[in-house]
A and B are shown apart, each in its own frame.
Chain A
Amino acid sequence: MNTVSVARWKAEIVGGALLAGVGGFFLVTAWRLPPPDEPGVPGPGSVPIALGLIILFCGLWVMVEAWLRGDRGGLELGGRKQAVALAGLVFATAFFEAAGFMLATFLFLSAGFVLLGDARWRRAIPAAAVVSSGLWLIFTKLLGVGLPYGLIAEILFR
């Protein structure tokens, strides 16, 4: 499997910078929150300001530590399978309501079985149909969970 790798120290520096950025962002946003009603008593922004500072500090620490340590070892960020799973997940969640449960999950599973499980299409399609229908029946009929029919079903059946 082809995987993407980077030097660990570089990844740590990027991770630390992102953490510091998140801390800084929360700090600035919390600073704009209304001040406390009484002096000395914490208001809605007091705790977030302190937390923002801690996150910012920790992010900077991680960056500096990574820089000083300079770990040249490789860090595998992931490969084709992680990318496929993530792309499929984003697709399935984005179109879950619009396409409806059956269509979105059928496509997601078929592609998943082929691309992740190396199955042939003629085997993946019936397997995906069985799993989607089975899950639909278990969750909607047996457990009473409401799952979306989707726009296509709405158009076809209403």
Chain B
Amino acid sequence: MDSWTFLLNGLWIALQPKNLLLCFIGCFWGSIVGVLPGLGPLAGMALLLPLTFTLDPAGAIIMLSGIFYGAMYGGSTTSILMRIPGEAASVVTCIDGYAMAQKGRAGAALSIAAIGSFVGGVFSVFGLMLLAPRLANAMLAIGPAAEFTILLAALAISIFAANGSVVKIIAMIALGLMLAMIGLDPLTATPRFTFGSLQLSDGLSFAAMAIGLFGVSEILMSFSQGLTERPKAPRLAEMLPTKREVKEAAMPTVRGSFIGFIFGIVPGVGHIVSTFASYAVEKALSRKPEEFGKGAVAGVAGPETANNATTGAAMIPLLVLGIPAIPVTAVLLSALTIHGIQPGPMLIAQHPQIFWGLIASMLIGNLMLVVLNLPLVSLFVSMLRLPYGYLAPTVLLICIIGVYSIKASAFDLSVMVAFGILGYGLRLLSFDIAPLLLAFVLGDRLEVNFRRALTISEGEYAIFLKGPAAQLAAAMAVAVMIGVIALKWRQKRAARA
């Protein structure tokens, strides 16, 4: 069967009434968490993660990925109307989106963002469909040494992608890896750092950690960022862009799709880099660069398209390599693992219904979001009028329910609170917590592959350079390290200038 036949099968799975409903719930909840400042896709997904346990794996991943790209859509609403990015990837949209709103073109900006997001999302889904099976076949040939090197390279890329000083990022990666070591040693079953506790023998709960680090700490941080502006929702009649605006948005949308997709494939880079890159390209190519920052249509269309194109492309490292390129896909990885499914090169062959069902659902979900977001913009805006003092305790309560419903464990609630405080403290001190979570997810595989490779070679470190797969992985890792050092040095130099 070719990719198109598989896609048709996937569409059949995604169009099942139950999966359609789950896709809708995911998109709707994603739009809400994207709209609400302080809650991003990660917290939104982590909160609903426990609810997926009662679903079949395909339904679970369809709903969770719906939250992911729904949040990307939703994030643009607050950026355009209030100049507050609903989530980090919408920062760039604030610049020209808000300027368009100030000129009375808020509706048009929202439409351009929604259509751009749709085009970017669909483009990345086709890219994922064509590229992923080929990459998966290539990945089947690699052994533990090459896998260890690839995982190490993925962590190295996160050094570039993360914010703050390199030492602090390395500390977060090492801490995440160390936290992943808590529990029974996967190769010898020796208890490590459990201190006689039965609960710690199973290791730390990923959901409790993720909700604590991102959900709880985000709420605590948000108290310092008071929301004073009362946004006004544009009427439906004002949503249509003019012919000139459509023309101005066309090429940035095409370019944004390519830029977003390319950046999305690279593990660790993610949405922020792709949106900024798209903005920079549009400004460089524009005949009127002076309009950027004052309501340029291209400044909204390009980054918003790139943002959603990155979402689909970010699924490639997860589904093909089993590497969560960004923390959000780490939650997807966790959901699949809980259902007994290991993402990686064998996923497409062993569970085609999940892979192709997800691809098809992303097509449907992107369309659903355009239909959902434009008419419901008033509803989302009205949510922003809710006093934060009412919203915060309710979200914290949902955090508690989310963690408790996994194992009915009071211990996990304590873990959530502890990581909430830790996350808050770390963010105050400018530590980026995303690499910590990424390292926690990859820690187990990284260690197992490292030790397996050295057991096979009887302690010979040369195994990490033996064979074409290992050599290619090592060359990639070295190139990544050099790239990271060079880019960080440039960033530092630019900051000083």
A-contact bits for B378-393, CB 8 A (1 contact / 0 none): 0000000001111011
Closest to B410 in A: A97
Docked Cα-Cα span, A11 to B54, in Å, equals: 44
Which of B178, B193, B431 has the most chain A CB atoms closer than 10 A to its own CB?
A: B178
With A and B bound together, what is the CA distance between A19 and B414 in angstroms? 21
Query: Chain A, 80-121, contact with B by CB distance < 8 Å: what is the 0/1 string?
Result: 011001101110110011000000010011001100111100
* CB atoms of B390 and A105 under 8 A apart: no
Q: Assess the B397–A58 pair: CB atoms within 8 A.
A: no
Q: In whole angstroms, how far apart are the Cα atoms of A38 and B168 in the complex?
A: 35
Contact between B192 and A33, CB atoms less than 8 A apart: yes
Chain B hits for A112, CB < 8 A: 389, 392-393, 396
Supposing A43-B188, A44-B188, A146-B405 touch, asked if A22 and B175 sit within 8 A by C-beta, the answer is yes
Residue B174 CB within 8 A of the other chain:
yes
- B426 surroundings in chain A (CB, below 8 A): 15
Complex contacts, A39 vs chain B, CB 8 Å? 459
Whether A44 and B192, one on each chain, are in contact in the complex, defined by CB atoms closer than 8 angstroms, is yes
Of all chain B residues, which has the CB nearest A109?
Answer: B393
A-B CB pair tally, cutoff 8 Å: 180
Cβ contacts A132-148/B at 8 Å (1 or 0 each): 10010001000111111
Q: Does B392 contact A77, Cβ atoms closer than 8 Å?
A: no
Distance of A41 from chain B, by nearest CB (Å): 5
Known: A40-B454, A85-B219. Contact between A92 and B390, CB under 8 A? no
What total of chain B residues lie within 8 Å of the partner, measured CB to CB?
Answer: 60
Q: Say whether B151 faces chain A, with CB atoms less than 8 Å apart.
A: no
Residue positions of A touching B, CB distance < 8 A: 3, 11-12, 15, 19, 22-23, 26, 29-30, 33-34, 38-48, 51-52, 54-55, 58-59, 61-62, 65, 75-79, 81-82, 85-86, 88-90, 92-93, 96-97, 105, 108-109, 112-113, 116-119, 127, 131-132, 135, 139, 143-148
Q: A88-B393, A93-B417 are in contact. List 15 more A-B contacts (CB 8 A).
A: A39-B459, A40-B458, A44-B192, A54-B174, A78-B424, A81-B223, A82-B224, A93-B410, A93-B413, A105-B397, A108-B393, A113-B393, A116-B389, A145-B405, A146-B408
Interface residues of B (CB under 8 A from A): 50-51, 54, 165, 167-168, 170-171, 174-175, 177-178, 181, 185, 187-188, 190, 192-193, 216, 219-220, 223-224, 387-390, 392-394, 396-398, 400-401, 404-405, 408, 410, 413-414, 416-417, 420-421, 424-426, 428-429, 431, 447, 450-451, 454-455, 458-460
